[in-house]
Structure 1
């Protein structure tokens, strides 16, 4: 079995445990179970969390071998103890993967593990991390980053996405998809996805408008009209347009373009599909229309964004 160790410190956020639930569910779907799960701390015993509850932990030991070691984060950046830094610094000698959730990345950085590597953390702390650790190539706009044997995730629920990606690497896409379904995760986010989601920015309040936006997300490759979205929301076109603008501050057409841009940029950065294919699959119909949308939104054409993403990966 693969030993998974989650390292916690006083004040850690309990949401980091959600990442361990991914591995727990993987064990339910595999026979025999794949993962041996441990919650670790420097001294073991009870460790207080940011919610005031305590976690029962095992003391970590430099001699113990873990396939995957994950450092949990808290709500604020605190100085790590010398014992924790030393343990994490030694981890790559024994572990196949070393990872962090949220601001746990600061511990990896302080241990020197992130030097000359790409990494991410919660967007609120990303620039502080870059200033404090200039040798780290901080990518503040990513859900998670996998740079060789080192994995880092953005804040809060991004730890779930990181763990799902690890399970997919170990056990395949079908197992990861089934786990996401069991966890009622809205959809599995790829590491390259921005921490700033177009759907989150729209922030619709009513179920009807949320349902219409979900319809858009699932049908980006198709021509979409106000009538289509109104039907999905069970409203008349006039009622829908008025309600949509009131809740999102945007017209339906502008919102559709933003969602298409987000999907197209992700495909440009993470796939090798021809530009024409990306344009068709994200509903832009042709590359010229997609190029104009990219220039309006990002100030760069799709080819440049793909080239920059590949240069970062190569680096």
Structure 2
């Protein structure tokens, strides 16, 4: 983790707590000069070494953010070292406004990314070669993962654990920390969308995003082919080659995951959830749940629904 004076404490602590809790990583903090740094709230943060002393291959290079818009941020020496280490890293990640530091180092050019909602406009305007996704909790584009603000670093950490060690360990860490494995929120965080490699075909990339953003929309093969300006046969080939699913399977899984969120966190009836997510009927959703999850919507809700009406102890 590349830290500096002014780094947001929770940007650093959140993902570190997750990664440490998984038991699957050796975490080292590095600053430009190898000295301790002062966080945004004045708490000092010890480091292990200087960035210039980071040698050999690195599994993950993680860049936490600074307080937006006027917090202290690192200068050119930090960016140069960040750029150098990134070439030896298997994966580069950022929390919050750390995405702007990655962009300044040229590491987000031509990629999709996100950052704190208050900094998305700045990221888009200053770095037009970055495709900003303001609604996402985190965005994975090839070997680069960026996350939204502050506590989204915890979501990022859980995503990295799931990617490296599987969902069971990530779920266990989330349960211990009393957080969502995948919090209810922007459609971009859905695991089926996050697990799909970024398609090379730009029309297909836009199509996947549109389905994830509006699960209940009209996503028949014919309508999707028309939106992508390709034939139905060619669209099916593109999906199989670049997504590993048929168009219908992808739409079904996106709708199932949208329904999971509503069943976990809302009070709407199963029939209402089915309509909201584009299934049309509860029986159609029931068949989709059995196909994708091996359980029914009612059984899923009974197992995973969380009530928000928890009284405080007095």
- The TM-score with structure 2 as length reference comes to 0.60
State the Cα distance separating 1:64 from its structure 2 match.
4.4
**Structure 2 contact 68–118 (Cα < 8 Å) conserved:** no
Residue 13 of structure 1 aligns with which residue? 8
Structure-2 change in CA distance of 1:263 and 1:19 (3 Å): farther
For 1:170, what is the secondary structure of its paired residue? helix
Distance 1:180 1:277 in 2: 24
Aligned match for 1:43, one of 33, 40, 45 = 33
Aligned match for 1:161, one of 155, 160, 178 = 155
State the Cα deviation string for residues 184-241 of structure 1 (Å, max 9, x = none): 114433895479xxxxxxxxxxxxxxxxxxxxxxxxxxxxxxxxxxxxxxxxxxxxxx
Superposition pairs of residues 8-87 of structure 1, within 5 angstroms: 8-16=3-11, 17-27=13-23, 34-57=24-47, 58-61=49-52, 63-77=55-69, 78=72, 80-87=74-81
For 1:69, what is the secondary structure of its paired residue? strand
State the Cα distance separating 1:49 from its structure 2 match.
0.7
Structure-2 change in CA distance of 1:14 and 1:277 (3 Å): closer
State the Cα distance separating 1:91 from its structure 2 match.
2.7
Distance 1:89 1:191 in 2: 32
Superposition pairs of residues 116-265 of structure 1, within 5 angstroms: 116-189=110-183, 193=187
Aligned match for 2:107, one of 113, 120, 124 = 113
Q: Output the aligned Cα RMSD.
A: 3.4
Aligned length: 215
Structure-2 change in CA distance of 1:39 and 1:286 (3 Å): closer
**Structure 2 contact 5–73 (Cα < 8 Å) conserved:** no
Instruction: Give unpaired runs (5+ residues) of structure 1.
Output: 1-5, 28-33, 196-260, 294-315
Instruction: Give unpaired runs (5+ residues) of structure 2.
Output: 190-211, 220-242, 244-248, 263-269, 281-314
Q: Does 1:272 align with 2:227?
A: no
**Structure 1 contact 145–192 (Cα < 8 Å) conserved:** no
Distance 1:96 1:194 in 2: 23
State the Cα distance separating 1:274 from its structure 2 match.
2.6
**Structure 1 contact 102–155 (Cα < 8 Å) conserved:** yes
State the Cα deviation string for residues 48-98 of structure 1 (Å, max 9, x = none): 011111011121125343200100112125553121111121233211110
**Structure 1 contact 11–75 (Cα < 8 Å) conserved:** yes
Structure-2 change in CA distance of 1:174 and 1:49 (3 Å): same
Residue 299 of structure 1 aligns with which residue? none
**Structure 2 contact 6–73 (Cα < 8 Å) conserved:** no
